[in-house]
Amino acid sequence: MGAFHGGRYESDFVSPWTISACNVDADLFVVLQDWCGSDYLSGPFNPLLAKLGHDPQLPTNRNLQALLYGIGLDFSDVFGTNAFPFVKSGAMDADIENKALRECVERFVLPQVDIVQPKVTVLMGKTVYNAVCEVLGRKAAPSLDAAIATPIAFGSTLLVASVHTGNKIHIHRGWDRAVDDWKWIGARLA
């Protein structure tokens, strides 16, 4: 991040997304796949991205915010991070090498979950869920539906999969099913 706009996107957190989602006493921990692509950061400086750690205009963040609101929460009520906290090469939807994602889950995500000790940790997307499964020595899920149907007990938290909230949410799960999934998640927080 330091290579973009004189380091103005740098933060004191593993992932800048935590700037807006930094409740270390949260019952809900949200793990998105990655923070940003180099193509996006190479564009004009985005002061909101620097201030909030996310761009509230991007579909991923708008949809996630709506799902959180649906269970009575805001970004500030949760702890959030990215499984891959680095700037990836290319576009926002560029793939990340599985080995790199697994290494980041092991090195950054699971230790943060241990520190925060939420009731529920939401793993956004099958890719993140499967990276966690591989680190924990579990079988990867063959589909998003299978991942969502298979929560994992990890210490004091329940690791649950959710559809990634980006542009393709309607294709991969459908909005109504995503809302139902998040209602189920909200019920686990009570």
Q: Is residue 118 part of a domain?
A: yes
177 Cβ contact list (under 8 Å, min separation 6): 163
- The answer to whether residues 82 and 123 touch, using CB atoms and an 8 Å cutoff, is no
Q: Which two tokens stand for residue 24?
A: 């270390």
Q: Is residue 12 part of a domain?
A: no
How far is 78 from 181, CA to CA, in rounded Å? Answer: 17
Q: Is residue 107 part of a domain?
A: yes
Q: What is the tens place of the pLDDT at every residue in 129-161? A: 999 999 999 999 999 999 999 999 999 999 999
Please give the residue that has the higher pLDDT: either 159 or 90: 159
> Which residues span the domain enclosing 185?
22-34+56-85+96-189
For position 158, which CATH number holds? 3.40.470.10
How far is 96 from 88, CA to CA, in rounded Å? Answer: 7
Please give the residue that has the higher pLDDT: either 35 or 77: 77
Share of the chain above pLDDT 70, in %: 87
Neighbours of 69 (CB within 10 A): 11
Q: Is residue 48 part of a domain?
A: no
Q: Is residue 69 part of a domain?
A: yes
Among 144, 130, 131, 151, which Cα is nearest to 174's? Answer: 144
Say which range, 26-40, 57-71, 158-172, has the weakest mean pLDDT: 26-40
Asked whether the predicted pLDDT for residue 90 surpasses 70, the reply is no
In this prediction, residues 104-124 reach a mean pLDDT of 97
Give how many domains the chain has, as a whole number.
1
Asked whether the predicted pLDDT for residue 178 surpasses 60, the reply is yes
In this structure, what are the phi and psi dihedrals at residue 55, rounded to the nearest 5 degrees?
A: -100, 110
